[in-house]
Structure 1
Amino acid sequence: MHPVRRTGPRLALRELEPGDVEAVFAIYGSPEATHHLSFEPRTRDQVAAIVARSMASALADPRSEHALAVVERAGGDLVGFGRLAADPHQQRAATFGFALRPDVWGRGYGVETVRLLLGFGFEELGLHRVWGARSPRNEASAATMAAAGLVEEGRIREHVHKAGSWRDSVVHAMLDREWRAAGRGV
């Protein structure tokens, strides 16, 4: 499925473009934005490579990864990055992740981003299960996932190695029937 375009009340998901490098760097290069993510801040060159790789993977057949820009509908500013990737261990399942620019935190954009990703996964890709993991200390992400309707399933111990130490991850997931039961599905 290419190109992806999915809209919500204030935000939209779209394919990444070559001109998005600086906007993605404002997220992936930010110590604040990457504090709870599984990696250290990226350099501009690393972000350029991520954008290029994501654009190339969008043309793969079959497509196993959807790395998407999160943009404001009014004005089109890129404010986030969202990703759905096929889970190699489960049929019709995907992992998801997202990150937003720190200057847009606290506006409800996280919940809308997660709902856009879930809707795309369940309604357009026909997935059965979508799951993601967060840092146990990321209470904002916990609240976002709960508000989007995901179920906290448990903890993966010492899952991420960052800044010289191991950290756990907390798993959240949703099933297609839960999406439909919440009235969000087709």
Structure 2
Amino acid sequence: MNPITLEGPRLTFRELREDDVDALFEIYGSEVATEHLSFDPRPLDSVASVIASGIADTQVDPRTVYALAVTLKEDPGLIGYARLALEAHRAGQIGFALNPSVWGQGYGTETVRLLLQLGFDQLGLHRIWGARSPKNAASARAMSGNGMVEEARIRDHVFTHGAWRDSITHVILEDEWRQPER
């Protein structure tokens, strides 16, 4: 399924481009933006590798990783990064990060919704899950606001910012996604 373009009410997902490196570096290179992510701030060359890997993933057949730019509908510039990685048994894991300049506007909730639409409506997945820092209340709201339920705590899951950190997982199943009230 290439290329991916998905539109929500205010956001669009598109494939990554080489010129997205600086915009993603504003997120992945930022101490503030990576505070709750599973890694420390990354140098520019590492961010360039993330973009290159995402572009290369579009050529894999069958495609198993969807690394996408999150943009505003009226502006094709990257304001975030969204990822859906396919797993065995029609499952997938989502992850996302947004530029702090757009935090607090509901874009996280819309990003998760678009990832779930991609996974369930276009790829036919059965189960989608995501993980977050226990302190990341905004991510918890974005996932729960889309019907994802808190499932588990993975203790000492990642080593980041000089310490071990737990992760909280959230999950949604395809029949829950397809409920009429959704």
The ranges of structure 1 where at least 4 consecutive aligned residues each deviate by more than 6 angstroms after the TM superposition are none
- 2:6 maps to a residue whose letter is R
Q: 1:65 to 1:6 in 2, by over 3 A?
A: same
Q: CA deviation at 1:103?
A: 0.5
1:182/1:146 Cα in 2 relative to 1: closer, same or farther (>3 Å)? farther
Q: Within 1, Cα distance between the matches of 2:4 and 2:39?
A: 26
Q: Structure 1 residue 182: deviation in Å? A: 4.7
Q: Which runs of 5+ in 2 are unaligned?
A: none
Post-superposition Cα deviations, 1:129-158, rounded to whole Å, max 9, x if no partner, equal: 000000001111111111121111111111
> In structure 2, how many angstroms separate the alpha carbons of the residues matched to 1:34 and 1:182?
36
Distance 1:105 1:74 in 2: 18
Give 1:147's aligned residue: 145
* Structure 1 match to 2:58: 58
Cα offset for 1:113?
A: 0.3
- What is aligned with 1:180? 178
1:158-173, aligned counterparts within 5 Å?
158-173=156-171
Structure 1 residue ranges without an equivalent (≥5): none
1:183 is displaced (CA, Å) by 4.8
Shift of 1:159: 0.6
State the match for 1:30 in structure 2.
30
In the aligned structure 1, how far is the partner of 2:100 from the partner of 2:172? 26
TM-score w.r.t. structure 1 length? 0.95
Aligned counterparts of 1:42 and 1:165: Cα–Cα separation in 2? 17
TM-score by length of 2: 0.97
Give me the whole-angstrom Cα distance separating, in 2, the residues matched to 1:6 and 1:129: 20
| Count of residues paired in the alignment | 182
Counterpart CA distance in 1 for 2:164 and 2:31 is 18
Q: Which of the numbers 110, 115, 118 marks the counterpart of 1:117? A: 115
Change (3 A) 1:75 1:62: same
* Residue 16 (structure 1) aligns with: 16
Distance 1:7 1:72 in 2: 9
User: SS of the counterpart of 1:60?
Assistant: coil
